[in-house]
Chain A
């Protein structure tokens, strides 16, 4: 194989057989842990034929889970765009006390177990929680209802956009914004006509990752959801319920939708990187 024998690269890669072994190990690892399960998901989903597959997806409980998942993402992602852009803007364009604390706090959802994230909301809003009695007297249901699911999802996904934008905006500095202001632009015009175009690909990348996680989140949502069929079940939770009922074909059918989402995200992400030479590798995630 020409790749392994290329003499120009031998100096860096060591003997050709080492290169071959390393590449094979990486490929085998990917096949075993990523490709195989993915194939299995679709295989299981279609085991009873395309009819059963469509049947499982058209089931009212499944449709309700899909709708809830879309609703949750539709609320969480825009809010996290606003939060992420504001946080990245504040951190990279201003100097203020507590900046490092803010950066650390943004990373918190990554370092905390999702189950703990869910429990925090139960502690806050649950019947025995701090705000429980007050919520009860005002007839507001958060835990075991849609608001709880949305809150938990927002918490778990808020680092994605901010984390993507902070290094990008730090690298770009303030010159462009200052130039726009010196030309008479207002803050609003500067933001929409200079800042947003400068960060658009990084932003889109962050939104993609944020969305994938918002739709796929299990742990935190599982704690606050209450698993009420047709009401508080998101797609990942619905997959689990069906699986626990030994309804494998239906379970894998819904799971295949999530897998498809992952594949679409991956393709879009690669397309973005290829088309605009934007690399997410400098962001740490």
Chain B
């Protein structure tokens, strides 16, 4: 089922949570809403679910406008950040809840509900835990119960709010893979909210990067990483270095040093140059940015270098081949090999100016 959001604006008092947001999720797609806290990603998810309603704009499923329809009519599965399991019901009671509240003529028999609950518990690999209460489960198990409960009503759309936020790293990784498989097996359209860029890049078909109630970029993970649409996206997704530069007469200047091989994509004036740690090489004195090495750490097949540049608060982070690694204290000259220029006034994610 496709989801179309057009021109969504949502305010909470004076706070603009969403500012004219439009987005389309294709049928069968696995979409990540990625952004820092306060970027509006959870509000957007809740508006798709019908748990919040937009001040302006519309929501359609498969082309049918459902903007004013409440959550109960939308047939979406929603998994809450803290799972919201009913604490007074067993696991089986939780999973069967959606079936047991159906209007009498649509409601399956008790035996049928029990059969479906068993099926779902098998699906989430918790078959033996039907009689337990939520408080007796681990975080990962609760997460899977919440999923089984959401899937019981056979939604075509699955919405997940920070699904892995409260889990430890190992469980998180397993659950991710499992969720991806489940999504494909059941032919769902799934959208999940996360502030973890690694999670978004690894799991989603497309990533929606959000900041301050606006969408910064919608693209496949590779493109978000390799071709960030704004300074914010470059800074927020993946590791990056940022250099204040000046563009003048077709040249990119750091101080008085001209940086070779970088297209001056923006108008003359101040700019900010971003590059990844692995997109730089060390050159001879006279070219590149001079920096003094403060730290060298081994990485698989390479060395991670931290080097201080005069006038910058944060050190540059660079990955170079292990056999070319300098020693701490040494002066190096850094030449970005692949970089992206943005106007200096574009906001970034971290407060590093």
Contacts and interface: CB of A to CB of B under 8 A. Distances in A.
* Interface of B: prevailing SS: loop
Contacts of A179: 78, 80, 84-86, 149
A178 B102 CA distance: 16
A180 B97 contact: yes
B84 A184 contact: no
A197 B82 CA distance: 19
A189 B78 CA distance: 18
Interface in B139-180: 149-150, 152-153
Interface string A170-200: 0000011011111111100100011001100
Contacts of A185: 72, 97-98, 101
A184 B103 CA distance: 10
Contact of B88 (A178, A182, A183, A197): A197
Contacts of B88: 197-198
B49 interface: yes
Contact of B49 (A175, A180, A182, A194): A182
Interface residues of A, number: 16
B82 A175 contact: yes
A189 B149 CA distance: 17
B71 interface: yes
Given A178-B51, A197-B88, A184 B80 contact: no
Nearest to A189: B101
A179 B150 CA distance: 9
A186 B72 contact: yes
A135 to B, nearest CB: 45
B153 A184 contact: yes
Contacts of A180: 86, 97, 101
B119 to A, nearest CB: 17
Nearest to B13: A95
B128 interface: no
B76 interface: yes
B101 A184 contact: yes
* Interface of A: prevailing SS: helix
Given A175-B84, A198-B88, A182 B51 contact: yes
A184 B86 contact: no
Interface in B97-118: 97-98, 101-102
B87 interface: yes
B70 interface: yes
Given A183-B97, A183-B153, A178 B86 contact: no
A197 B133 CA distance: 14
Interface string B61-97: 0000000001110011110101011111100000001
Given A183-B98, A185-B97, A189-B101, A178 B80 contact: yes
Contact of B102 (A175, A176, A184, A197): A184
Contacts of A183: 97-98, 101, 149-150, 152-153
A175 to B, nearest CB: 4
Nearest to B93: A193
B72 A181 contact: yes
B76 A193 contact: no
Contacts of B97: 180, 183, 185, 193
A182 B71 contact: yes
A141 B269 CA distance: 87
Contacts of A176: 84, 86
A182 B76 contact: yes
A181 B70 contact: yes
B99 to A, nearest CB: 9
Nearest to A179: B84
Contacts of B71: 178, 181-182
Nearest to B89: A197
A179 B50 CA distance: 12
B87 A182 contact: no
A194 B51 CA distance: 17
Contacts of B75: 184
Contacts of A193: 97, 101
10 contacts: A175-B82, A178-B80, A182-B51, A182-B71, A183-B97, A183-B101, A184-B98, A184-B102, A186-B72, A197-B89
Interface of A: 175-176, 178-186, 189, 193-194, 197-198
Nearest first, the 7 closest Cβ-Cβ pairs linking A and B are A183-B98, A175-B84, A179-B84, A185-B101, A197-B88, A182-B78, A182-B71
